[in-house]
Amino acid sequence: MSRYRGPRLRITRRLGELPGLSRKQARRAYPPGQHGQNRKKRSEYAIRLEEKQKLRFNYGLSEKQLLRYVRRARRVTGSTGQVLLQLLEMRLDNTVFRLGMAPTIPAARQLVSHGHVTVNGKVLNIPSYQVRPGEVIGVRSNEGSKKLVEANLQYPGLANLPSHLEFDKSKLEGKVNGVVEREWVALQVNELLVVEYYSRQA
């Protein structure tokens, strides 16, 4: 299934707050649809599926892409769930969003795809690129790119900069100082249920 391009509020009403997907707040606190207000008790499978969907929609991934990340995380020593979150958080589009250069992850993906973002001084237009500690993320040196990012910086998606990143507003330049820690992941998700979901799918 390809990336979701439909109404974002519908998703946040169903799954709860997804800081990377939308900044809008739903007026209604219950899920969409005719039976949104009288939901039955959910099965264990439904709960695991919902946690998986949170990751998919928040980071803007297709089912295939998320499955690839899960497989990669399994190959790394340590907690698969935590490694999975680190892989997703260290994507270039998410890092641009966390630096405040874009209001949402879809907006950050567009910035990267349209060639406004540089990594170590070179234009890089691959949103899924894994940023590494020591790398410098900047803005292309043309006027249009700078104006776009400066406008976005007035209204960042999240208030706090995670501890593994630093940002210099005067240079429009961010630096990756390490790998993201679990407590700095903004999304409220139980990653162990996501790993469980995929282990039962295999």
Question: Domains along the chain?
Answer: 8-87+186-201 (1.10.1050.10), 91-178 (3.10.290.10)
Q: Is 36 helix (H, G, I), strand (E, B) or coil?
A: coil
pLDDT digits (tens, 9 = 90+) for 131-170: 999 999 999 988 989 999 999 888 776 778 899 999 999 9
Lowest-confidence segment of 15-29, 108-122, 126-140 by average pLDDT: 15-29
On the 0-12 / 13-18 / 19+ scale of CB atoms within 10 A, 43 is: exposed
pLDDT, mean of residues 113-139: 95
pLDDT of res. 114: 94
pLDDT digits (tens, 9 = 90+) for 25-74: 555 555 555 455 556 677 888 889 888 988 888 898 999 999 999 999 99
Residue the block writes with tokens 């935590």 = 82
Q: For residue 179, is pLDDT > 60?
A: yes
DSSP 108-161: HHHHHHTT-EEETTEE---TT-B--TT-EEEE-SSHHHHHHHHHHHTS-SSSSP
DSSP 8-state symbol, 91? B
pLDDT of res. 92: 96
pLDDT digits (tens, 9 = 90+) for 72-98: 999 998 899 999 999 999 999 999 999
Which residues are bridge partners to 174 per DSSP?
137, 167
